[in-house]
């Protein structure tokens, strides 16, 4: 077995190689893409770590670049080619995680030592409403990765899960990994449900025999909070789009409600540490284990985004609406999307799931990740994110207030008036 260059905790905490990796990631504007019929994105699955010529690492761009900076050969598996030239030491293979043959092709003629399976679909917006594609990517895709790992003799697998596998709208304060999964019918959205199914498959596969060696597959799962950072492509562009269209006119819920986020650099650190903690020299301490990963700073969702709003030159809204009203609004939006999706697959302003994930307190303890992985969350702010968006042409132009923004304002007011009427209608009838 070829020795790979070790990735130490010290390296993971050092800002030098994440910053260099992030620089390429920002310039390339890379995220993994969804299947062509998906109308969205899913992140690439990641198999492996190696330094010598025949050992590789299948990773999404930012994590792949960080490991490449640390002397490890990287293989990036994705559904679309990166937008810009990939740095030396990273090889790209096009493939679809839903197809076992594509996944197995990525393992051909290489000796894979660790898989980083980061693929997912259906986290937010209209993606949440595409149940078939959610199931295909999150469940079938995970089955394919597990099968390929066993068949090709891969000894380690790190799965990127989500904190939503145990959150169903209930208040959670400083929850830990002892919290149970929900019964499948109680998950309020298909994304969380399928991620829970996939995570259990991964953790139950821990210790399973490998076909090409006498060893076993070691697995663990990371449960990140909402991800942010320069170049993040799932949440922030949609938020900035709403801000620029003048749709960010209100906040909702109790200002004391707290949620969590994780910066991409902290998440990269957690993945590297998790892969190391599956090794024999660490006593396989992470084998079969889940870990919550965040910045460790619970915060009100809207206050968290205040620096982004104001940094781009916009006014943070002072109007606060009740959660029940916004939930009704989101429900009507989902109904409209269901009726019109074949004619116009529009982006819902909010989904019901996004309302309760935003408006209900839920945050988790990092003690297990600190103790077993050596994870230490670094402090970040929104300045880099603001600068990234400004560099890509975003930010308020004080000289203009275009007609599109006025139209969106009018539509938003009309929709809110309609929802308020429907919300109050039963009360009016009872008078």
Residues carrying an active site annotation = 191
Task: List the alpha helices (DSSP H) in 95-214.
Answer: 100-106, 131-135, 141-152, 190-204
Element (H, E) at 269: helix 264-276
* Helical segments of 14-135, H only: 16-28, 61-69, 100-106, 131-135
Q: Which of 266, 267, 229 is nearest to 118 (CA)?
A: 267
Give the Cα separation of 255 and 301 in Å (integer). 9
Q: How far apart are the first and last CA of the chain?
A: 79
Whole-angstrom distance, CA of residue 74 vs CA of residue 59: 7
| 377-392 as b/e: b if 16+ CB within 10 A | beebebebbbebbeee
Burial profile 142-162: b = 16 or more Cβ within 10 angstroms, e = fewer: bbbbbebbbebbbbbbbbbbb
Helix, coil or strand: residue 261 = strand
Query: How far, in Å, CA of 286 to CA of 225, rounded?
Result: 19
Q: Are the C-beta atoms of 210 and 198 separated by less than 8 Å?
A: no
Question: What's the angle, vertex CA 59, arms to CA 301 and CA 123, rounded to 5?
Answer: 30
């Amino acid at each position: 077995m070829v020795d790979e260059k070790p990735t130490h905790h010290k390296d993971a905490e050092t800002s030098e190689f994440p910053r260099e990796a992030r620089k390429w990631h920002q310039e390339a504007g890379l995220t993994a893409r969804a299947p062509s019929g998906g109308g969205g994105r899913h992140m690439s699955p990641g198999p492996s770590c190696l330094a010598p010529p025949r050992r590789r690492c299948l990773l999404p761009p930012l994590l792949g670049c960080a490991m490449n900076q640390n002397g490890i050969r990287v293989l990036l598996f994705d559904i679309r080619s990166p937008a810009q030239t990939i740095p030396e030491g990273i090889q790209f293979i096009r493939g679809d995680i839903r197809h076992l043959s594509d996944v197995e092709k990525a393992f051909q003629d290489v000796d894979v030592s660790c898989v980083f399976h980061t693929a997912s679909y259906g986290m937010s917006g209209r993606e949440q409403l595409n149940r078939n594609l959610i199931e295909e990517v999150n469940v079938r895709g995970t089955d394919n990765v597990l099968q390929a790992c066993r068949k090709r003799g891969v000894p380690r697998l790190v799965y990127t899960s989500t904190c939503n596998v145990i959150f169903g709208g209930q208040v959670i304060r400083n929850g830990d990994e002892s919290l149970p999964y929900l019964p499948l019918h109680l998950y309020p959205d298909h994304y969380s449900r399928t991620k829970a199914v996939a995570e259990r498959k991964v953790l139950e596969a821990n210790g399973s025999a490998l076909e090409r060696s006498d060893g076993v597959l070691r697995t663990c799962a990371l449960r990140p909070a909402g991800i942010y950072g320069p170049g993040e492509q799932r949440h922030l562009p949609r938020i900035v789009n709403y801000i620029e269209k003048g749709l960010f006119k209100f906040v909702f819920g109790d200002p004391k409600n707290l949620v969590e986020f994780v910066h991409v650099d902290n998440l990269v650190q957690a993945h590297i540490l998790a892969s190391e903690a599956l090794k024999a020299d660490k006593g396989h301490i992470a084998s079969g284990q889940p870990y919550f990963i965040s910045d460790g700073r619970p915060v009100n969702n809207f206050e968290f985004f205040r620096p982004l709003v104001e940094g781009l030159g916009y006014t943070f809204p002072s109007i606060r609406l009740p959660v029940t009203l916004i939930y009704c609004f989101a429900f009507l939006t989902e109904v409209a999307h269901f009726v019109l999706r074949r004619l116009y697959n529009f982006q819902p302003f909010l989904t019901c799931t996004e309302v309760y994930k935003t408006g209900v307190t839920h945050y988790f303890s990092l003690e297990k990740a600190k103790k077993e992985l050596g994870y230490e969350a670094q402090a970040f702010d929104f300045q880099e994110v603001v600068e990234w968006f400004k560099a890509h042409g975003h930010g308020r132009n004080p000289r203009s207030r275009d007609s599109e923004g006025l139209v969106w304002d009018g539509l938003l007011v009309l929709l809110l008036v309609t929802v308020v009427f429907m919300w109050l209608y039963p009360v009016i009838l009872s008078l």
